[in-house]
Structure 1
Amino acid sequence: MEVMKKNIVLFFVILFLFHSYQVIHAQEMKSFTKLSEMKHAMDQSNIDVKNWSLYTKGSIGFVNDVNGYRQKAALLRNAAEGFKWSGLNTNEHFKITGVRISASGHIKERLTLVAYPQKGKLATYLVYAAKGKGWNKVQVQQFARMYQDRVATYFEGKSSTFSCISGIHNGTMDFGLYKQALGLMTTFSAVPVEQLKEETFVSISAYTEHWDEKINTAHKAMNLQIAIRNQGMGGQTAVTIGTPIITSEY
């Protein structure tokens, strides 16, 4: 009877872990679907994609002391093969960073594990960022599968993923920057929430029901950001799209 109880408990633990793994995979696939949709929107506006990025962050729990943090750091190093690591420790917090560049040189990954004092313990926080050059569809799809596996491996609990894509319009845009930003926004069936308009720069924060994830601002919920910067007479026009917000500089 005791053995049967243990087997039943083990079965439900495995079932729970399998379900969690499937949920994480589904979430990360959505992130790449969003990237593809943003790429499609840029294609429609004749914008040449220069780079794309993914940024996943999440808490990975508390540890009692520095030794507990070092154990988590060691586990991360073992799980993340091929990364080159560096560390920075102060009286206030501890941090290690690992970097890996793909064989082609087109994709750069960065893992950052941070620990800081909170409630008498050390809170640990993990950030996983990946940035790719250009847009090679096959390469992006292949990395998508690897990215899903890595997020499922590195993060123990709930995490949030931000997607971003940037490109350049080399010619003269048919409309002003603001109208161009509105045009991009409507391809996502989004409505504006906040906006900033300057002579050479426009930024629009918007909300679309097409995507589930969102963040709350002082005004309303948002899950899409578009920024367009004109780089001068005869120069290029830089376009950046991000969800739920832009995480890269523009």
Structure 2
Amino acid sequence: MNKISLTALLISIILFSFFFLENTATIANNKMDLAILAETLQDEDVVIKEWSLHARKITPEMNSKEEINQFFKQLKKQFPEWDWTTKKSERHYEIKGELLNLSSQPYNETIHLRSSANKNKFETYITYEIKGYKWSKEAELFVSKIAKKKIDDIFRGNVTIFSCIKGEFSDRIEKALSRKANKFLTILDGEEIEALSEDSFVSVSAYTPLLGEVISNETNKMNLQLALRTEGLGARTTIVVGTPIITVEY
């Protein structure tokens, strides 16, 4: 099976447009969703190779150049150590801020504002993203305390948060991939919504009450996706887990 990209995922969501994102609480049991997923994977001997948290929001209240410029001034005042770039035209506005953390647990932070003119108003959305490559107590503290405060400061209200982790099992697994996927569902108290199973690849979409963000319609809720892949005979198995959906290639 070819790798499934974020673009393909977004297209599939558009095709099934009866789904919508609920702005529910992004913390369950006083833990960020990302921390819950990381703890679950590490308990099952998964070595975390990459993790990300992506917050985004459409801001209908920011619909003029003056309001966008004022918001940009506030961002630069809040985050003076960040590197900021802007791209402007008559009908488009783009602001990007980046910060590279060079500690023993390196991660990148990005704020991105994109705005396009629609008639006499601008349609604007903002994203804040963190990407890291190791998960530790330091990373969990940063996500649950510092990053959460930044999200509150940037977005001021309800915001949709996507959390995703890539990992690799420390040992080769002998069980069928579907059995391993089902074990993760059991641990996370997940109810399967749909699944795809092949010899070397398994993907599952499910709902669990342990995670906050939800995609739903009148009859179904979904907030967990996981995918397991084995590249060949004797190869190690990789796993990607995301909530409410996976937002990276797998």
TM over 0.5: yes
Distance in structure 2 (CA, Å) of the matches to 1:247 and 1:32: 21
Structure exhibiting the larger radius of gyration computed from Cα positions: 1
Q: How many residues align?
A: 226
Higher helix share: 1
Query: Which amino acid counterpart does residue 95 of structure 2 have in structure 1?
Result: I
Change (3 A) 1:64 1:31: same
SS of the aligned residue for 2:188 comes to coil
Gaps of 5+ in 2: 1-22
SS of the aligned residue for 1:196 comes to strand
Deviates more, 1:29-38 or 1:202-211: 29-38
Change (3 A) 1:195 1:121: same
Query: Which amino acid counterpart does residue 69 of structure 1 have in structure 2?
Result: I
1:171 aligns with 171
Change (3 A) 1:39 1:103: same
Distance in structure 2 (CA, Å) of the matches to 1:30 and 1:213: 13
Could you tell me how far 1:117 is from its partner in structure 2? 2.5
Deviates more, 1:47-56 or 1:82-91: 82-91
Q: Does 1:124 align with 2:92?
A: no
Could you tell me how far 1:164 is from its partner in structure 2? 1.6
The answer as to whether partners of 1:165 and 1:241 remain within 8 angstroms in 2 is yes
Note the aligned Cα RMSD (angstroms).
2.6
Query: Which amino acid counterpart does residue 186 of structure 2 have in structure 1?
Result: T
Distance in structure 2 (CA, Å) of the matches to 1:116 and 1:217: 29
Change (3 A) 1:88 1:196: farther
Query: Which amino acid counterpart does residue 35 of structure 1 have in structure 2?
Result: L
Distance in structure 1 (CA, Å) of the matches to 2:113 and 2:99: 15
Change (3 A) 1:87 1:201: farther
Distance in structure 1 (CA, Å) of the matches to 2:146 and 2:86: 25
Query: Which amino acid counterpart does residue 37 of structure 1 have in structure 2?
Result: I
Could you tell me how far 1:109 is from its partner in structure 2? 0.5
Change (3 A) 1:109 1:28: farther
Gaps of 5+ in 1: 1-23
Change (3 A) 1:139 1:158: closer
Change (3 A) 1:231 1:217: farther
Query: Which amino acid counterpart does residue 57 of structure 1 have in structure 2?
Result: R
1:94 aligns with 93
Q: Which has the higher contact order (CA 8 A, sep 6+)?
A: 2
Deviates more, 1:171-180 or 1:82-91: 82-91
The answer as to whether partners of 2:27 and 2:33 remain within 8 angstroms in 1 is no
